[in-house]
Structure 1
Amino acid sequence: MKKIILYLLIVFSQTISGQVKLFENQKLAATCKVWGYLKYYHPKVANGDFNWDNKLFEVLPQVEKAQTKEEFSLVLEKWIDALGEVKEIIPIIPSKEIEYFDKNFDLSWISNNELFSKKLFAKLKFIENNRFQGQQHYVESDYAENIFLKNENFDNLNYIDKNSRILVLFMYWNVMEYFFPYKYLMDQKWDTTLEEMLPVFIQAKNEGDFYIAMQKLTVKLNDTHAVFYKYNSENLYYFPTNCKIIDEKLVVTEILADSLAETDDIKIGDVITKINNKTIKEIILENRDLIGGSNESVYLRNIVEPILSGDSDTVKIEFLKDSKNTTRTINLHNYHDSHKNKYVKGRIKKEKIKILENNIGYVDMGILYVKNIPEMIENLKSTNAIIFDMRNYPNGTYDEISKFLNSKEKEYIIYTKPDLSYPGRYKWSKPRFCGSENKNNYKGKVVVLLNEESLSQSEQTAMCFQTGDNTTIIGSQTAGADGNVSNFEVIKGVFTRFTGIGVYYPDKRETQRIGIIPDIEIKPTILGIQQGKDEVLDRAIQFIETGK
């Protein structure tokens, strides 16, 4: 008891004197934030006057030696002073025409009095008020106004160097901190992710550990666009089918290599209950921090290929058939052989446009191009209804098709875009329109089919078609990631991306993570797949014919 009281007295006395010892994680997380802040805010750093990566490497040993708030703040103060004078400028007054979206914006950390002295806070606040107003050295907007990175050079970084790994984490974290429009929609606060991931990056001992760390980091974005992979990755082996997870089982939905599937007696509708002795439910649970997605539907989509591929050319699979479980060892194959049907010309000729029974038009949006739209209009203008199948990725056809569907021009979308003059802040765009004044527009029912394969442009196209005079969405939750993507490398040969602009309905309803909500929800069933049915398409036809 006496020892506990003595310990508490020591801690209390340290707190009173401001000499509480800081932990390495605290110091590195704060240094990450200051480094990124100066990178985009300090007039000389944002202008490219320094090798900012080297400046980080120079200050890290001093950060490591600092033991208290006072020592740590002094290191950062001297670091900032060494960059040169920040000149006071005329107060920056935003244009009255700009409407800001600030759910993402938060610089409150600079006033953290547990880590930063009043003097350091004053320096950081002064930099904010007199921030860089020129062309950013490290980021730039493209035509859509999402950012791309420039003047980043990671060629000399290596996975076994601790400082290299810290730099990669700092760079990635700050790009998302200031330029990911949906930071506020993450499951976990981005600050917490930084604190959690620092030890993971620091303790990574080899290339494999580094890749796992990066996978875990990108998954935290909860963004279907966010991917992470290596160019020229080592050879993997694949299962010769596409599958879908239904009721915590894996169901074969498509054969990708006929002869290989036939050799192993694999058919559409086969039900897989275990892979290498693990149930599908167990596999779903254990991969949540390694495989990303905006929502559960797309997570279950994204997990299928990784769990049915690997560096071994065989896999043990348990099948469920006639209420009996049987386990077989199945061969996996290189990508070209396992996806052979893709390379056989003319094997399956899909129809872009066709007329189903009862004068119902059907359009496969994944293979329809702008040049095909006049033909589509001519063939389908007299139909009772048109089904636009967007369980795929369209080809920029929404604008021209909407002129055929709509009787007048309507607002359908609004964006948030980064303000590079005030990093972290976003501006609302003006609404965009689709359709046109057209008294001869299509008068029949319009049905759009969507599911978890409907991503980005599919979702934006659906938003456009929803403005039509008689549109119904049928299917299930979409991928929940709309908006142009920003791509970059984190280390040479290692690629990643994220959604770069925010996408909303004109009334500012969110689409990220939610996706496009169907008017009628319908999902495939195991029995339906085994019977060769397209239950989503069948439900659309039922609705067209009955109105229910």
Structure 2
Amino acid sequence: MKKKLLIVFLLSLFQTGFANLKVTENQKLAATCKVWGFLKYYHPNVANGNFNWDEELFKILPKVEEAKTDIEFSNAIEKWITSLGKVKAYKAEISNEEVDYFDKNFDLSWTQNTAFFSKSLSQKLKFIEQNKIQGKQYYVEEGVEFRNEVEYTEFDDKDKNFRLLLLFRFWNYVEYFFPYKYQMDQNWDLTLIEFLPRTINPVSETDYYLSLKELSAKLNDSHALFGANKLFDFFGRHGIPFDFKIIDNKAVVVGFKNESLSKIDDIRIGDVITKIEGRSIEDLIKENQKYIEGSNYDAILNKIDYPIFFGNTDTSAIEFTRNNKTETKTIHKYLYNDLKINYENNSKKYKFLENNTGYANLAVLTPDDVPAMMEQFKNCKAIIFDIRNYPQGTNFAIAEYLNPQPKDFVKSIDADLSSPGRYIWRKDDGTCGKINPDYYKGNVILLVNEKSISHSEFTAMTLQVAPKATVIGSQTAGSDGRSYRFEILKGIWTSFTTYGVFYPDKKETQRIGIVPDIEVKPSILGIQQGKDEILDRAILFANTLK
């Protein structure tokens, strides 16, 4: 039903037909955004850097505003395109090389929507597509690195043109260079239409910046990020000195950023926080999850501390439960530098557990440690690899000990810069493992959860192909591939995934993540009792294979 409504809505953008009928500001600017981005990456005289493309946008916007009908709009755009110079027709060389295209994101059919564009404008856009730039892209390079954008000394958020430039740049970055665009909950065209009004006429400065945070969250990508200093004015700069996990819509204390500061307010592991400033954690989650970039709900909950627990004051009143007793108290919050977070992980890299089971913490294990570890574990009945963290690049070194021969474990797609929006399956992603008749023949157990993201998930995929591998835990963050962080305009940062990672059979990992064979999630009681229930379940499996 949702898809049908979406199609109707998108059609309504051009529903009246091309007949000199009035068009709205939203319709005109949505179409201008798409044309501007298309020309930026396809027109030979634009994609090679011959024009100041921001300045061209600023020049066409007043003419777009003046256009009252679809005919006037098409005429303005067509004259603009003509002013960019002649596009020469060329004959594409016929290649004998077979290319395996990934086209789930690739769709330029909108250029032929003659219900809104004039026939001659559609023909002009089609001709540009067919005779696109043949050399290097000026605004993007291999591997997806945006370059040669005009840099400004500051982002003037009071200037509508600058706000539109920010939206147009970002929307087109995603349109052409986000491999998982097709997996978003909301169609990207519809997202443009939704956020244009908040760009053109923001209710307030705060609402404008929050709209950009929401826009970033629409990618449904745990790698995505939107950052601006002015967001601190809304969410605040004071944070808590402890870590928590959302369980049953409650915030359960699971660790400390700074234990000494936490002790000042007698914060203990297992405390169950139910309210902040009189508002339930459940209500705060519902209100703020739209601002959190995450591929799935567990990933969103893992990142929701910022909007819920940060603030502009250095104290907060909380309601919490301890030993079945509910109390209220005021806790202190601190500026980031005052938290003095200790990021060092002093855990043992590897150790023996009960009943001849090995355990490796991949957060601290290094490739140089692997040979000695595997020598010690070679006679273990099982090895548990803990990937509920960010590993140190040990996956290939470990895989050489776990497999009798090289194994395929991944299939990737890269942006096709000759046809932006299209992706290409890599011919050779390589393998993991090597010919090793003396490989480890015991059970391989992988521990994952929502903190397993990107290289953590890639590591799990690498080790998952071992002959006797079992994944235990919960859904991972669902965002594999390269995370690219960049500045859209001065002081406005963002990031998202720029190449796609799949299983060898081309099954998605984005949003889905690494699916456990045995699902286990921590419970409030388990945390209060000091248990690691996922590790406990892994030990039980190592002993019983059940």
Shorter-chain TM-score tier: over 0.9
Unmatched segments (≥5 aa) in structure 1:
1-13
The structural deviation recorded for 1:255 is 2.1
The alignment partner of 2:431 has SS state of: strand
| Residue in 2 that maps onto 1:89 | 90
Task: Measure, in 1, the Cα distance between the counterparts of 2:84 and 2:446.
Answer: 56
Is 1:376 paired with 2:377?
no
Of the three residues 408, 412, 415, the one matched with 2:412 is 415
The structural deviation recorded for 1:338 is 2.7
Residues 130 and 375 of structure 1, relative CA distance in 2, 3 Å threshold: same
Matches within 5 A, 1:163-312: 163-204=161-202, 208-230=206-228, 236-312=237-313
Residues 372 and 425 of structure 1, relative CA distance in 2, 3 Å threshold: same
The alignment partner of 1:297 has SS state of: helix
Residues 363 and 58 of structure 1, relative CA distance in 2, 3 Å threshold: same
Task: Measure, in 2, the Cα distance between the counterparts of 1:493 and 1:416.
Answer: 31
Residues 15 and 427 of structure 1, relative CA distance in 2, 3 Å threshold: closer
The alignment partner of 2:291 has SS state of: coil
The structural deviation recorded for 1:199 is 0.8
| Residue in 1 that maps onto 2:8 | none
Q: What amino acid sits opposite 1:155 in the alignment?
A: Y
Is 1:401 paired with 2:398?
yes
Task: Measure, in 2, the Cα distance between the counterparts of 1:275 and 1:115.
Answer: 50
**CA offsets per residue over residues 405-427 of structure 1, 9 Å max, x none?**
11110111011111000111110
The alignment partner of 1:412 has SS state of: coil
Residues 365 and 16 of structure 1, relative CA distance in 2, 3 Å threshold: closer
Bigger CA drift: 395-404 or 41-50? 395-404
Task: Measure, in 2, the Cα distance between the counterparts of 1:34 and 1:117.
Answer: 14
**CA offsets per residue over residues 82-117 of structure 1, 9 Å max, x none?**
000000001355654111011111111111122100
Is 1:151 paired with 2:148?
yes
Task: Measure, in 2, the Cα distance between the counterparts of 1:394 and 1:225.
Answer: 17
Task: Measure, in 2, the Cα distance between the counterparts of 1:340 and 1:162.
Answer: 40
Asked if structure 2 preserves the Cα contact closer than 8 Å seen for 1:244 and 1:304, the reply is: no
Task: Measure, in 2, the Cα distance between the counterparts of 1:16 and 1:151.
Answer: 38
Task: Measure, in 2, the Cα distance between the counterparts of 1:79 and 1:472.
Answer: 59
The alignment partner of 1:201 has SS state of: helix
Q: What amino acid sits opposite 2:376 in the alignment?
A: N
Asked if structure 2 preserves the Cα contact closer than 8 Å seen for 1:450 and 1:478, the reply is: yes
The structural deviation recorded for 1:81 is 0.2
Residues 543 and 95 of structure 1, relative CA distance in 2, 3 Å threshold: same
Task: Measure, in 2, the Cα distance between the counterparts of 1:232 and 1:62.
Answer: 32
Asked if structure 2 preserves the Cα contact closer than 8 Å seen for 1:387 and 1:448, the reply is: yes
The structural deviation recorded for 1:486 is 2.0
| Residue in 2 that maps onto 1:6 | none
Asked if structure 1 preserves the Cα contact closer than 8 Å seen for 2:209 and 2:231, the reply is: no
Unmatched segments (≥5 aa) in structure 2:
1-14
Asked if structure 1 preserves the Cα contact closer than 8 Å seen for 2:20 and 2:71, the reply is: yes
Residues 340 and 101 of structure 1, relative CA distance in 2, 3 Å threshold: closer
Task: Measure, in 2, the Cα distance between the counterparts of 1:413 and 1:326.
Answer: 50
Asked if structure 1 preserves the Cα contact closer than 8 Å seen for 2:18 and 2:117, the reply is: no
Matches within 5 A, 1:463-542: 463-542=461-540
The structural deviation recorded for 1:174 is 0.4
| Residue in 2 that maps onto 1:109 | 110
| Residue in 1 that maps onto 2:71 | 70
Asked if structure 1 preserves the Cα contact closer than 8 Å seen for 2:289 and 2:304, the reply is: no
| Residue in 2 that maps onto 1:11 | none
The alignment partner of 2:414 has SS state of: strand
Residues 229 and 428 of structure 1, relative CA distance in 2, 3 Å threshold: same
Residues 183 and 103 of structure 1, relative CA distance in 2, 3 Å threshold: same
The alignment partner of 2:351 has SS state of: strand
**CA offsets per residue over residues 330-352 of structure 1, 9 Å max, x none?**
11012243344447xxxx73100
Q: What amino acid sits opposite 2:361 in the alignment?
A: D
Asked if structure 1 preserves the Cα contact closer than 8 Å seen for 2:206 and 2:231, the reply is: no
The structural deviation recorded for 1:224 is 0.1
Asked if structure 1 preserves the Cα contact closer than 8 Å seen for 2:247 and 2:524, the reply is: yes
Aligned CA RMSD, in angstroms, stands at: 1.8
Q: What amino acid sits opposite 1:411 in the alignment?
A: D
Task: Measure, in 1, the Cα distance between the counterparts of 2:122 and 2:388.
Answer: 51
Residues 245 and 532 of structure 1, relative CA distance in 2, 3 Å threshold: same
Residues 544 and 256 of structure 1, relative CA distance in 2, 3 Å threshold: same
Task: Measure, in 1, the Cα distance between the counterparts of 2:374 and 2:414.
Answer: 35
The structural deviation recorded for 1:207 is 5.1
Task: Measure, in 1, the Cα distance between the counterparts of 2:231 and 2:19.
Answer: 51
Normalised by the size of structure 2, how large is the TM-score? Answer: 0.93
| Residue in 1 that maps onto 2:81 | 80
Task: Measure, in 2, the Cα distance between the counterparts of 1:340 and 1:196.
Answer: 39
Residues 232 and 92 of structure 1, relative CA distance in 2, 3 Å threshold: farther
The structural deviation recorded for 1:377 is 1.6
| Residue in 2 that maps onto 1:443 | 441
**CA offsets per residue over residues 142-200 of structure 1, 9 Å max, x none?**
xxx3x010011241441110000000100000010000000000000000000001111
Asked if structure 2 preserves the Cα contact closer than 8 Å seen for 1:245 and 1:301, the reply is: yes
Q: What amino acid sits opposite 2:475 in the alignment?
A: Q
| Residue in 2 that maps onto 1:35 | 36
Matches within 5 A, 1:303-382: 303-342=304-343, 349-382=346-379
Task: Measure, in 2, the Cα distance between the counterparts of 1:133 and 1:17.
Answer: 33
Bigger CA drift: 529-538 or 258-267? 258-267
Task: Measure, in 2, the Cα distance between the counterparts of 1:393 and 1:184.
Answer: 27
The alignment partner of 2:530 has SS state of: coil
Identical-pair percentage: 52
Task: Measure, in 1, the Cα distance between the counterparts of 2:341 and 2:252.
Answer: 20
Residues 92 and 426 of structure 1, relative CA distance in 2, 3 Å threshold: farther
Asked if structure 2 preserves the Cα contact closer than 8 Å seen for 1:454 and 1:478, the reply is: yes
Task: Measure, in 1, the Cα distance between the counterparts of 2:433 and 2:264.
Answer: 51
Asked if structure 1 preserves the Cα contact closer than 8 Å seen for 2:18 and 2:116, the reply is: no
Residues 399 and 505 of structure 1, relative CA distance in 2, 3 Å threshold: same
Residues 109 and 305 of structure 1, relative CA distance in 2, 3 Å threshold: same
**CA offsets per residue over residues 450-508 of structure 1, 9 Å max, x none?**
00000011111111111111110000000000001222101212221110101111100
The structural deviation recorded for 1:259 is 2.5
| Residue in 2 that maps onto 1:426 | 423
Count matched residues. 527
The structural deviation recorded for 1:133 is 1.3
